[in-house]
Structure 1
Amino acid sequence: MSNLARFNPFHELRDPFSDDFFKGFAMRPMYRLMEGEPQMRLDLTEDEKNFFVKAEIPGVKKEDIKVSVDGNQVCLSAEVKKEKEEKQGSKIIRSERFFGSVSRTFTLDESVDQAAALAKYEDGVLQLTLPKKHNGQSHILKIS
C-alpha cells in the first residue's frame, strides 16, 4: 500500500523550516563562497549564417584562453590566476592566491565551419563568430 499525500503549494510559506530547509546546506563547497570565484558567463545567439558567442572571462590573459571546435561541439577553457595582497604600512595583513581553471562546453544545432571561425578577446569578453557549415544533404527516413 502506498501513502498518498495531497500537494499543498503554500506548505513552505506556513512552515519554512521544514525538513528540506537545511537539505544540502552542509554539502555546499566552501570555495563557492570565496571572493573572486572563477566563472564564465555565456551569451549565444545566431542568424541564418553564423552562431555568435560572447563569454565573460574577466582577469584572464589572452594567452591563457583555449577555444576548440569539433563539429558542432564548442569547448572554451581558461586558466585563472589571481593574487591579492593587502598591506598596512610595511606589514602584510592579508595575502591570497587563487590558481585554477574554468571551462564551458556546449553543443550547437549545426556543424561549424572551423576554417572561417573568428575569435576576439577584449576587455574581459571573448567574442566568437562561428559560421554554420551547411551540409546540403538531408536524409529522410522511410517508415516501415
Structure 2
Amino acid sequence: MGKNMWVDAGGAGFGPANFAEGAIKPQVDIINADGALIVQVELPGVSEQDIRLSVHQGVLTVAGDKHPHNREEWKREYYVAERAFGAFRRSINLPAGLDEDNAEADFADGVLTVRFPRIGIETLPGKPIPIRPR
C-alpha cells in the first residue's frame, strides 16, 4: 500500500472519516515517528480558542470555526474572495496501538499538532472469544 493509503482510506481502517457537507476540510499530515503517531492539521487564520479537539472510539475529530479578522470585512465589495470562513471539521480514524489517554496537542503558526504515543498491541484491552468444539 502506498503512502496515500493513510489519507485516502474511507470509513474503515486508518484514514479520514466523514466530514460535514459544506464545511471547510483542513489539510492534514500523518507521521509515524519517535514511537508515536503525529497528526498535523493546517488551520491558518484560526484562533486557538476556536478549535475543538476530541478523540472517541479511535476517531480523532478537529472542529471549530474560522472567523474573518473583523466584521467590516463582510461589508466590503470583493473582486476575488478565495479565503474560506465558517465551520470546519475533520475526523480521522486512528489505528490500533495508540495511547489515546496520553495524547498531547499544541498549536503554533497555524498548525495544530496532536501526538499519540504508541503502545504495544498486546497491551490493548480485549475480550477473549472461546472456540466451541463441534
Is TM more than 0.5 here? yes
Superimposed CA distance per residue, residues 31-77 of structure 1 (whole angstroms, 9 cap, x where no aligned partner): x9xxxx94411000114731101110011110111111123211111
Give the TM-score normalised by structure 1: 0.56
Uncovered stretches (5+) of structure 1, i.e. residues with no partner: 1-31, 87-91
- SS of 1:101's equivalent? strand
Q: C-alpha deviations, 1:110-132, integer Å up to 9, x for none?
A: 15323311101011000111113
Q: Which residue of 63, 68, 73 corresponds with 1:85?
A: 73
Structure 1 counterpart of 2:27, from 3, 19, 41 = 41
**Which runs of at least 4 in structure 1 moved beyond 3 Å after TM superposition?**
83-86, 137-142
2:49 aligned with 1:66:
no
Q: Structure 1 residue 85: deviation in Å?
A: 3.2
* Amino acid in the other structure paired with 1:40: P
Structure 2 gaps, min length 5: 1-21
CA distance in 2, matches of 1:50, 1:141: 33
Q: Any conservation in 2 of the 1:50–1:130 contact (CA below 8 Å)?
A: yes
In the alignment of these two chains, the number of paired residues is 103
1:75 paired residue number? 61
Q: Which has the larger radius of gyration?
A: 1
Cα distance change on mapping 1:71 and 1:48 into 2, 3 Å: farther
Distance of 2:93 and 2:117 partners within structure 1: 14
2:51 paired with 1:94:
no
CA contact (8 A) 1:71 1:111 kept: no
Structure 2 partner of 1:117: 103
Q: Kindly indicate whether structure 1 or structure 2 has the higher relative contact order, using CA contacts under 8 Å at least 6 residues apart.
A: 2
Identity of aligned residues (%): 24
Give the aligned CA root-mean-square deviation in angstroms: 3.4
Bigger proportion of residues as strand: 1
